[in-house]
Chains A and B, each alone.
Chain A
Amino acid sequence: MEIVLLGMNHRTAPVELRERVAFSAEQARLASAELRSRGVLAETMILSTCNRSELYGVPPESSEEAMMELERYFASLHEIDPAVLNSSLYRHRDVGVVRHVFRVAAGLDSMLLGEAEILGQVRDAYQAALEYGATGPVLNRMFQAALEVGKRVRSETEIGTRPVSVAFAGVKLAEQIFGKLSKHSALILGAGTVGEQVVEHLNDRGIARLLVANRSRERARELAARWNAEVVDWEDVERALIFPDMVVSSVSAAEAVLERGMIERAMAARGNRAMFLIDLGVPRNIAAEASELYNVYLYNVDDLAEIVEHNKSARAGEIPRVETIIEEHVRKFQDWQAGVEITAVLNDLRAKLGQEREEFLRERLAQAENISPAEREHITKLAKELLEDVLVSRVTRLRNVRDLRGRLRDLEAVRRLFGLDQEKP
C-alpha cells in the first residue's frame, strides 16, 4: 500500500510549462480512468490549479515501476520532451506524499503564503475524483485528512488571517471600520490595476452600491458596465462625495483631485458619518491634510504597502505552528496506515495457517485410533484456539513498535516468512 506523487508547481516550473501540463476537469477524469484501466495505478487523484499540476496515486504493485510509467505518461499526454519535463517534476513517495498534500492544503506550498483558495481547489478536485470513483480507501483517507489539516490550520493559526495584498488590505480596513459592507457604498475614481482589484474584493464582499467616475465618460461607462456600478459625471464628483462611505482613487493627475475643503463639505453634508479614503495615485490624488478631519480615515498606497509587509512577516511567523499541526496529522495517518497493514497481515496469516492447521489435523487424526468423536472435536477446538491466541498476541504486538518504519519492515518480514505474498492473487 504505497502512495506516489508526481507533479510540478510554481517553484519548479515557469508558467509556460505549467500551462502546458494543466488538466481540465474532463482531462483529469479521462487521465484517471486511463491510468487505472492500464493498471498503472489502483487509485488516482489529479490536482490541477494555475500554480500546480499534481498526480497522486496508489500503485497496485511496485512504486518504482508506477513512477516511471507516470513520467512517461505525463510527457506523452502533454507532448513534452521528457528531458525538459524531468527537471521540472518532483516525485514523492509514501509519507513524503502525505506531508506534501497536507502542506498544499495548509497553504504552505502556495505562492502567497497561507492563501485560502487552494483548500477549495483541493476539495473540488477530490470531490470530483470521488464522484467518478478514481479514489480508493487510501487516497480517500489522505485527502479527507488534508482537508481537515487545511481547516484546522486556518482556524487555529493566523497563517491566512491578515491581508497580504494592497487591495485586500484596503478592503479589510474598510470592514474593520464599517463591519459588513453590504450596507455601504464606495466611489471609485479612475481605474488602475490595484483599483480594479479593490473593486473585485468589494464586489466579493457584497458592497451595496458602487459609483464610478472617470475623466473620460466613455471609460466610466465601460467600467460601470463591467463592475455593475453607477456612473457619476466627473464634474459631479464633489456632490457625489456625500453618499459613499469609501472612496478609492487611482487617477493619474499632477495635482490633488480631492482637496481638503471638498471632503470637509462632504463630511458636513453627510452628518460626519465615517469616511474611508484610499489614495492609490502617485502623485497622490487626495490632499494629505484631509486626514486631519474628524471621522475621516485616509490611507495612501505606501500606508497600505507597509501594512502588507508587516502582515507578510506575521504570516511567516506562523509557519512553525502550522508545521506542528501537519506533523500531528502525518503521524495520525501513518498510524492508520500501519493499522490497516497489520489487519491485512493478520487476516492473511489467519487464512493461511488455518488452512494448514486443518490439513495437519485431518492427517494426524486419521492416523490416530481410540479417539472418540467428542475428543476429536475437542482437539480441533484446542488447536484453533492455540493458533488464534498465538496469532493475535504476536501480530498485534507489532502495533506497539514505536517507529513506523520498523513496524512496516517487521510486517514485511512476517509476510516473507510465511510466504503470504505468493498467496495473494
Chain B
Amino acid sequence: MMTGWVLATLILYLVSFAAYLRNLYAENTLLGRGAAVCLAVGLGLHYYAMIERARMLGAVPYEDLWGSLSLFAWLLGALYLGLELLHRGRSVGPFVLPFVIVLFSLSHLRNVSPHPALARGPLFALHITLNILAYSAFALAFVLSVIFLLQNRLLRRRKPGGMFWRFPAMDVLERMSRSSALVGVLALATGMICGFIWANRLQGHYWNGDPKEIISVLMLVFYAGYLVLAGQKAWRGARAAALCTFNFLFVMFSYSIVNIYLSRYHRFY
C-alpha cells in the first residue's frame, strides 16, 4: 500500500543506496554525506509511515507481519547510521541498505485492514521492540562478518583489488560486528525477560514451551557463544566471523518459519 510517506521513504532509501554504492566505487565525501543524509531523512519519513500505518490499523505497527518487518527495517537503518557515525566509515552502507529497502518494501505489499486494538500495555511493547532491535543488530553483525570474510579471502589470496582498500580495517569490522552482536544479545535477553513476565501475568506461568521461545533461547546461546569465542585463541578472526554468519540462520528461521508456521503465540515478531 503506497501512501505519500511510503513512496517518499522508498525513494530516499533508493537514492541513499545508489549514493553509498557509488561512494564505494569512487569515494566522494559529498556523495557519502548525501547518502547518510538521505538515509537519515528516509528514517524520519519511515517513522511517520509507521505512525500512519498504526493509525489505519488502529493498533501498534507490529500488530501484523508487515508492520513488524517495517519496524525491523527501521531499527536496522537506525542502528547502521549510529555505527556509521561512531566509526566514521561508509563502506558498509551499500550492504546494509538493500536489507532495509527489501524489508521496507515487503512491509507495504499488503493493504492495511483495521484490527480491533488489543490493549497490551508497555511491557508487551518493550518486549516486541527489543526483540526486533535484537534481530536488526544480528543482521548488522551478519553483514559485517560477511565483509570480514570477504576481506580475509582477498588478503589471503594476495589479490586486494579496488574494493579491498575501501572497506574498514578488518580489526574494525571485527569490533563492529562484536559490538553489534552484543547489542543484539542484550536486547534479546531483556526483550525475552519482558516477554516472560508478560506471559506470567497473563497466563500464570513464564515458560510456555513455544517453538519461538526455544529458538530464541538457542539464538541467545549461539550469539553469546560467538561473543565469547571471538576472543578465544582458536576462534578469533575468520572462524568467529563464520560463526556469526552462521548464527544469522537462526534469526531468519525464527523470523520466517517459526513465526508463520510453528509458533502458537508469536505470530509476527
Contact = CB atoms under 8 A, between A and B. Distances in A.
Contacts of A176: 151, 155, 160, 164-165, 167, 169-170
A161 B237 contact: no
A367 B161 CA distance: 88
How big is the A interface, by class? 20 to 34
A156 B29 contact: yes
Contacts of A172: 165
A314 B237 contact: no
Interface string A227-241: 000000000000000
A357 interface: no
B236 A178 contact: no
Contact of B233 (A162, A175, A272): A272
Interface in B227-265: 233-234, 236-239
A177 interface: yes
Contacts of B238: 294-295
A295 B236 contact: yes
Contacts of A173: 155, 160
Given A176-B160, A271-B233, A272-B233, A161 B165 contact: yes
Given A155-B29, A158-B26, A176-B160, A295 B165 contact: no
B27 A158 contact: yes
A177 B170 contact: yes
A314 B162 contact: yes
Interface in A254-311: 268, 271-274, 291, 294-295, 297, 299, 303, 306-307, 310
Contacts, number: 67
A273 B169 contact: no
Interface in B158-201: 158, 160-162, 164-165, 167-172
B120 interface: no
A157 interface: yes
A179 interface: yes
Contacts of B164: 176
Given A158-B27, A177-B155, A271 B236 contact: yes
Given A161-B165, A176-B160, A177-B169, A272 B26 contact: no
B28 interface: yes
Nearest to B171: A179
Interface in A136-194: 155-158, 161-162, 172-173, 175-180
B156 interface: yes
A161 B151 contact: no
B155 A297 contact: yes
B30 interface: yes
A157 B233 contact: no
Given A176-B164, A272-B233, A272-B237, A155 B28 contact: yes
Nearest to A162: B165
A267 B172 CA distance: 21
A297 B28 contact: no
A307 B162 CA distance: 10
A152 B158 CA distance: 31
**Residue of A173, A176, A272, A274 most packed against chain B (CB within 10 A):** A176
Contacts of B234: 272
A109 to B, nearest CB: 22
B28 A273 contact: no
Given A156-B28, A176-B167, 17 more contacts: A155-B27, A156-B29, A156-B30, A162-B162, A162-B165, A176-B165, A176-B170, A177-B155, A177-B171, A179-B171, A180-B169, A272-B233, A273-B236, A294-B237, A295-B237, A297-B155, A303-B158
